[in-house]
Amino acid sequence: MSKKMPISVTVNGQTHDLLAEPRELLIYVLRERLDITGPHVGCETSHCGACTVLMDGKSVKACTVFAAQANGASITTVEGLGTPDSLHALQRSFREHHGLQCGYCTPGMITRAAKLLEENPTPTEAEVRFGMAGNLCRCTGYQNIVKSILAAADEMNAEQEVAE
Amino acid sequence: MIPTAFDYHRPTDLESVISLLETHGDEARVLAGGHSLIPMMKLRMADVGHLIDLQDVSGLQEVTVAGSQVTLGAMVTQHALIDHAELASVAPLIREAALEIADPQVRYMGTVGGNLANGDPGNDMPGIMQCLDASILLQGPEGERTVAARDYYEAAYMTERRDDEVLVSVRFEAPSGGHAYVKQKRKIGDYATAAAAVVLTRAGDAVGSASIAMTNLSDTPVWSEAAGRALIGSACDEAAVKAAVDAMLGDIEPYESNHGPVEFKRHAAASVLTRAIARAWERA
């Protein structure tokens, strides 16, 4: 056992201070210490993307980040995108267009898609597929996932126009 | 999938990194994006006593384009390489290659320095930098030294870097003419079954200069001088391309792996190089 170190992470706007071994993985800090269980553990080998969160504005796989690396970081999980009473456009769209079956990959899909649409608000279908290539759905519901993201982009752009 | 315990260091300058490396010797490893090292640590195939995180070290995150001279700091991520408009215009080969590396999330973390320093034959940037005749800058207790990318790789995971040195940047002259990086892989996120990097120039109707490097077809990247020479002076016609491919096949030594048997890899190598030469010639 190595010594624990003080870790401070801001998750969905709230700062948490805890003691963790440096080798602890960010996904377990989130799920088991902070009880933020939106990001899932899928493959735990940086392939599947179920653990995707935003860390300092980057889409990252939280199974491949040490707690120590995340010290001082600002993290957004799916819980930070919308609430049950006020869903994010992507969450509404995934529900509307059947973008999920078992739902296991969905938090990672939505969190990744949010960053994708922030960087590219008007993606083509090919750009969505390329930008989502780090997320696997073992129900293989990719058609509807892509459809959901494209529809959310349209909705977000329409909201933007109304706001302007 | 939890690695053995380690001590974590997050210095803010290179001097402290080098001093930690001197103190801890081969028990220490530097951490860039971590997307090669952390999986190896989780599998307990890499045992690291002291992990030195470079994320706060100043001066490693810059992309510098001065005329045709390009310098990439070790901590520049693949995502940043793809996103850099000036780099894409001066040296589009870098963007073409970075887009073939891993997947979007991994590219936000994975760095050019990590990809170069790791020494896995599957990494893409070593072949790219050999194709471009890049220079790798190392910093250690005695100061800086430069090693040609073509001389940097000794064997799988064995490079010219000493245990107390850090790879700080890579520098190259942006090539004129055409370029291509063609990578055959089983799926997004996979290492290459075979990949070919080509830069060449056109002199009238003939090939003026050509440089060819191959990825994951030996225990190091392979810069095939003979393959490039086979194209120079030719009209890049079928016979010349075949001569270049044959020369390349003489320089690689693929081994059987989960990507396939040797003969299949040689077939894939010939195929990616043929396509890469055609694409580079079109663009020249």
Same domain, A88 and A151: yes
Same domain, A144 and A86: yes
Chain-chain contact of A60 with B109 (C-beta, under 8 angstroms): yes
pLDDT digits (tens, 9 = 90+) for B259-271: 999 999 999 999 9
A107 touches chain B (CB under 8 A): no
**Which 8-state DSSP code applies to residue A42?**
S
Tell me if B68 sits within 8 A of B174, measured CB to CB.
yes
Q: Which domain holds residue A92?
A: 82-163
Which residue among A5, A68, A112 sits closest to B105, beta carbon to beta carbon? A112
Chain-chain contact of B109 with A68 (C-beta, under 8 angstroms): no
A60 touches chain B (CB under 8 A): yes
Same domain, A95 and A45: no
Domain containing residue A155: CATH number: 1.10.150.120
Instruction: Kindly give the residue spans of alpha helices, DSSP state H, lying in chain B.
Output: 14-24, 37-42, 78-83, 85-90, 92-98, 104-109, 112-118, 125-131, 149-152, 225-231, 238-251, 262-283
A133 touches chain B (CB under 8 A): yes
Which residue among B3, B5, B108 sits closest to A59, beta carbon to beta carbon? B108
Contacts of B105 in chain A (CB under 8 A): 46, 49, 52, 59-61, 112, 134
Domain containing residue A58: CATH number: 3.10.20.30
Contacts of A62 in chain B (CB under 8 A): none
Question: How many residues in total does chain B contain?
Answer: 284
Same domain, A96 and A42: no
Neighbours of B171 (CB within 10 A): 17
Among chain A residues, CA nearest to B99: A130
Contacts of A2 in chain B (CB under 8 A): 5-7
Size of interface A-B (CB pairs under 8 A): 86
Chain-chain contact of B105 with A134 (C-beta, under 8 angstroms): yes
pLDDT digits (tens, 9 = 90+) for A5-38: 999 999 999 999 999 999 999 999 999 999 999 9
Instruction: Report in angstroms the alpha-carbon separations of A85 from A82, A88, A91, A93, A160.
Output: 8, 10, 11, 15, 21
Domain count of the fold of chain A? 2
| Structural domain ending residue among the three candidates A80, A108, A139 | A80
Helices (H) and strands (E) in chain B, counts: 12, 14
Same domain, A86 and A144: yes
Chain B neighbours among A 62-91 (CB < 8 Å)? 63-66, 68-69, 71
A132 touches chain B (CB under 8 A): yes
A15 touches chain B (CB under 8 A): no
From CA B231, how far away is CA B244, in angstroms rounded? 6
Same domain, A72 and A92: no
Same domain, A72 and A119: no
Same domain, A113 and A146: yes
Contacts of B42 in chain A (CB under 8 A): 44-45
Identity of residue B191: Y
pLDDT tens series, chain B, 284 aa: 889 999 999 999 999 999 999 999 999 999 999 999 999 999 999 999 999 999 999 999 999 999 999 999 999 999 999 999 999 999 999 999 999 999 999 999 999 999 999 999 999 999 999 999 999 999 999 999 999 999 999 999 999 999 999 999 999 999 999 999 999 999 999 999 999 999 999 999 999 999 999 999 999 999 999 999 999 999 999 999 999 999 999 999 999 999 999 999 999 999 999 999 999 999 99
pTM over cut 0.90: yes
Instruction: Kindly give the residue spans of alpha helices, DSSP state H, lying in A10-163.
Output: 26-28, 67-70, 89-96, 106-119, 125-131, 142-163
Chain-chain contact of A64 with B38 (C-beta, under 8 angstroms): yes
Contacts of B114 in chain A (CB under 8 A): none
Which residue among B8, B79, B106 sits closest to A46, beta carbon to beta carbon? B106
Task: Name the token pair of A39.
Answer: 């990001």
3-state secondary structure (DSSP) of residue B207: strand
Chain-chain contact of A68 with B53 (C-beta, under 8 angstroms): yes
Same domain, A76 and A91: no
From CA A60, how far away is CA B30, in angstroms rounded? 20
| Burial class for B155, CB neighbours closer than 10 Å (0-12, 13-18, 19+) | exposed
Across chain A, which distance is largest between two alpha carbons, in Å? 56
| A34-70 b/e (C-beta count within 10 Å ≥ 16 → b) | bebebbbbbebebbbbbbbbbbeebbbbbbbbbbbbb
pLDDT higher than threshold 80 for residue A2: no
Global ipTM: 0.96
Which residue among B41, B51, B104 sits closest to A134, beta carbon to beta carbon? B104
Contacts of A21 in chain B (CB under 8 A): 5
Torsion of CA A121, A122, A124, A129, to 10 degrees: 10
Which residue among A23, A69, A112 sits closest to B3, beta carbon to beta carbon? A23
Among chain B residues, CA nearest to A44: B1
| Structural domain ending residue among the three candidates A42, A64, A80 | A80
Among chain B residues, CA nearest to A59: B105
Contacts of A116 in chain B (CB under 8 A): 104
Same domain, A66 and A126: no
Same domain, A50 and A12: yes
Best CA proximity match to B104, nearest among B87, B79, B76, B75: B79
Chain-chain contact of B5 with A112 (C-beta, under 8 angstroms): no
| Structural domain ending residue among the three candidates A80, A107, A123 | A80
Task: Please list, in sequence order, all residues whose beta carbon lies within 8 angstroms of the beta carbon of residue B182, skipping any fewer than 6 positions away.
Answer: B195, B196, B272, B273, B275, B276, B279
**Rounded (to 5) percent helix, strand, coil in chain A:** 40, 20, 40
pLDDT digits (tens, 9 = 90+) for B131-177: 999 999 999 999 999 999 999 999 999 999 999 999 999 999 999 99
Taking the CA of residue A113 and the nearest CA in chain B, the distance in Å comes to 11
Same domain, A86 and A67: no
